[in-house]
A and B are shown apart, each in its own frame.
Chain A
């Protein structure tokens, strides 16, 4: 009797959850199937690459893509790292992206700060000049860009690649940071001015710390964008001895071509795994910041 009464009152006072769950349930089934299938389609190819990196050629051609390899040996990885130079390409990428992202952030923040917070003739013209670069795809002016880098003697050099990365990253960086610097309050800035802080000091000690969240977002955006570049290095890193200066994307694309000729697919799969795993590790740790950083530019 007691139990019944309790159940009855519960049903009377809370009709909503029961109603809601009844409405949601049938859709939930469909939802889970659809979501699970897409998750499978996303993770499947990556898992397949990792599995294949442990297989030998016969196993790869056997046609059971998700069967486990007979034995797990890391020789393919050692080959990919040293003989196929993945280690070298990886370090080249780290070096180039570290310097060019730092450069992009420093120069972009400087330009954006001045454009956002100072009035001077030509301010708007310079701003629009930077932003107009967003409208045109990079590949359009490929031939003249090659000519410019060549005439400066920077072809096939890290310096050339870094300067080009910075130049082509400035459009979005300036666009994003101008909007950001404009939203920061003026009071603290003015107080520092009254206290006698110079322009430089206000920028480095007040504005930069205040803009931290915006700076982090756009830094993530630039790191991912520059790490993933393929077109610009292909154009700039060519000529005699260029292959020792290739970045990771170039190196792996080249191994992929070579693998077909030499029938060394497992080295290719090991190289791919070596380039995917660090991304998974970084993503696992900074997943929230990365998602926020990359989507920050698209939502106001």
Chain B
């Protein structure tokens, strides 16, 4: 019965494991090694100790990028989840028997579509939507007499424009996700509460929200990952790769620029190492919070 078990296991694991070890695990391990070198990206390198990390500490652009990442990491999930919850509730508030609001299926299909477009394509589209003359969609819609808004060329608004695009793309996915979650909540609970005279708003905060908590946590993690990256948007939409004047600079852009534009791949690796530990801390914190919730519930 056990005949040929190990050859089979090894045969099935060797190729996927090898690919994963070389390209993923290998890359992360080498990141630690290269962070201690002056590697330019091509050819050899020498070890320079913790010099890269000292430089990182004094690098004001790194701190700006980190601050922007934290801002996106907090604001983008909050806005997206709030909007998605709002729309999902509106779509489902008619109840399962009533089949939701009129046209809810059509809305769900339209909302979800941006999720299928590559973020890079979305970035190109919105680069034009936010165009700073009449050729841009928004400025074209504004009255002729107004001075066109600068959007991405304006330091104060550039990062907000990027935030808007992230939210625009994500909301539909979470509307569908939360709708599925709301659909699995038993109709009887709502009916019982409605008989007791609960309003729609009370129903939402006292029943829907608590019963949806697990899905919300998953959504938070997914959105965090999406907001943390944002490379395609910054690289394509922003003025001058993270500009104007670093007002849209993020960590993924910093790693890319240092590795491939400034020929400082060692320094880019040091950035990666710092991020590695930040991510670990974030993951540990999330697990902690989640566990406490599980105990409380």
Residues on A lying within 8 angstroms of B by beta carbon are 20, 23-24, 27-28, 31-32, 34-35, 38-39, 41-46, 48-49, 52, 60-66, 107-108, 110-111, 113-115, 118, 120, 126, 129-130, 133, 135-150, 163-164, 166-168, 170-171, 174, 193, 198-200, 203, 224, 227-231, 234-235, 238, 248-250, 252-253, 256, 265, 268-269, 272, 275-276, 279-280, 282-283, 287, 290-291, 294-295, 298-300
Within 8 A of A (CB), among B87-146: 87, 90-91, 93-94, 98, 101-103, 106-121, 123-129, 133-135, 137, 139-141, 144
Shortest C-beta distance, B297 to chain A (Å), equals 16
A249/B107 in contact, CB under 8 A: no
19 contacts between A and B (CB under 8 A): A34-B90, A38-B83, A61-B133, A63-B144, A110-B15, A113-B12, A114-B12, A120-B5, A136-B279, A141-B28, A144-B269, A170-B20, A171-B20, A199-B8, A224-B116, A252-B121, A253-B120, A256-B124, A279-B116
CA distance A275 to B8 in the complex (A): 43
Contact between B252 and A143, CB atoms less than 8 A apart = no
Q: How many residues of B are counted as interface, with CB atoms below 8 angstroms from the partner's CB atoms?
A: 106
By the criterion CB–CB under 8 Å, are A144 and B34 in contact? yes
Task: Give every chain A residue within 8 A of B94 (Cβ-Cβ).
Answer: 24
Closest 9 CB pairs of A and B: A63-B134, A228-B118, A167-B23, A144-B30, A249-B120, A230-B120, A65-B140, A141-B27, A143-B265
B16 touches A35 (CB 8 A): no
Q: From residue A137, how far is it (CB to closest CB) to chain B in Å?
A: 6
The answer to whether B158 has its CB under 8 Å from any CB of chain A is: no
Docked pose: A298 CA to B115 CA in angstroms: 15
Tell whether B218 is near chain A: CB-to-CB under 8 Å.
yes
Beyond the given pairs A137-B275, A167-B24, A299-B180, 10 more chain A to chain B contacts, judged by CB atoms under 8 angstroms and listed by A's residue number, are A35-B87, A38-B83, A126-B17, A142-B272, A143-B31, A228-B117, A230-B120, A230-B231, A250-B120, A298-B219
**Residues 61-103 of B at the A interface (beta carbon under 8 Å):** 83, 86-87, 90-91, 93-94, 98, 101-103
- List residues of chain A with CB within 8 A of the CB of B251: 139
Q: A299 contacts B177, CB within 8 Å?
A: yes
Mark each residue of chain B from 1 to 30: 1 if its CB lies under 8 Å from any CB of chain A, else 0. 100111011001101110110111111101
Partner of B15, one of A63, A107, A252: A107
Q: Which of chain B's residues have a CB closer than 8 A to the CB of A126? A: 13, 17
- Please give the distance in Å from B264's CB to the nearest CB on chain A: 9
Q: Please give, as numbers and ranges, the residues of chain B lying within 8 Å of A253 by CB-CB distance.
A: 120, 123-124, 232, 235-236
Q: Shortest CB–CB separation between residue B208 and chain A, in angstroms?
A: 14
Closest chain A residue, CB of each to CB of B97: A20
Does B168 make an interface contact (CB < 8 A)? yes
- State A227–B117 Cα separation when bound (angstroms): 9
Q: Which residue of B lies closest to A200 (CB)?
A: B8
Judge whether A143 and B125 touch: CB under 8 Å.
no
Instruction: Name the contact of A43 in the complex, choosing from B91, B110, B236, B279 (C-beta under 8 A).
Output: B110
Considering the chains assembled together, what is the distance between the CA atoms of A170 and B119 in angstroms? 21
Interface contact B229-A137, CB-CB below 8 Å: yes
B125 touching A45 by the CB < 8 A rule?
yes
Contacts of A228 in B (CB 8 A): 117-121
- A24 near B279 with CB under 8 A, answer no
- Please determine whether A295 and B176 come into contact, CB atoms closer than 8 angstroms: yes
Describe A's contact surface by its main secondary structure: helix
Nearest chain-B residue to A257 (Cβ)? B236
Residues of B within 8 A of A (CB): 1, 4-6, 8-9, 12-13, 15-17, 19-20, 22-28, 30-31, 34, 39, 41-42, 83, 86-87, 90-91, 93-94, 98, 101-103, 106-121, 123-129, 133-135, 137, 139-141, 144, 168, 171-173, 176-177, 180-181, 200, 214-215, 218-219, 222, 225, 228-229, 231-232, 235-236, 251-252, 255-256, 258-260, 265-266, 268-269, 272, 275-276, 279-280, 283
Bound-state CA distance A129–B12 (Å) is 16
The docked-state distance in angstroms from the alpha carbon of A238 to that of B111 is 35
Chain B residue contacts of A133, Cβ below 8 A: 20, 24-25
Measured in the bound complex, the distance between the Cα atoms of B116 and A41 in whole Å is: 16
Q: Closest B residue to A30 by CB, please name it.
A: B90
Distance in angstroms between the alpha carbons of A44 and B106 in the assembled complex: 15
Q: Are B120 and A147 in contact (CB under 8 A)?
A: no
Contact of B268 among A41, A44, A138, A142 (CB under 8 A): A142
A113: B residues at CB distance < 8 A:
12
Q: Is the CB of B173 within 8 A of A148?
A: no
Would you give the shortest CB distance from A117 to chain B, in whole angstroms? 10
- Max chain A C-beta neighbours (<10 A), residue from B117, B119, B134: B117
Q: How far is the CA of A135 from the CA of B282 in the complex (A)?
A: 10
CB of A14, distance to nearest CB on chain B (Å): 14
Kindly identify which residue among A129, A279, A282 contacts B25, using a CB–CB cutoff of 8 Å. A129
Interface contact B255-A143, CB-CB below 8 Å: yes
Which residue of chain B has the shortest Cβ distance to A167 in the bound complex? B23
Q: How far is the CB of A121 from chain B (nearest CB, A)?
A: 10
Q: Is B225 a contact of A137 with CB atoms below 8 Å?
A: yes
Which residues from A are CB-within-8-Å of B256?
Answer: 139, 142, 231, 234-235
CA of A276 to CA of B113, assembled, Å: 10
Chain A nearest CB: distance from B179 CB in Å? 9
The complex places the Cα of A104 from the Cα of B259 at a distance, in Å, of 28
Q: B119 contacts which of A120, A230, A282 (Cβ < 8 Å)?
A: A230
Whether the Cβ atoms of B31 and A39 lie closer than 8 Å is no
| Measured CA separation A228–B124 after assembly (Å) | 13
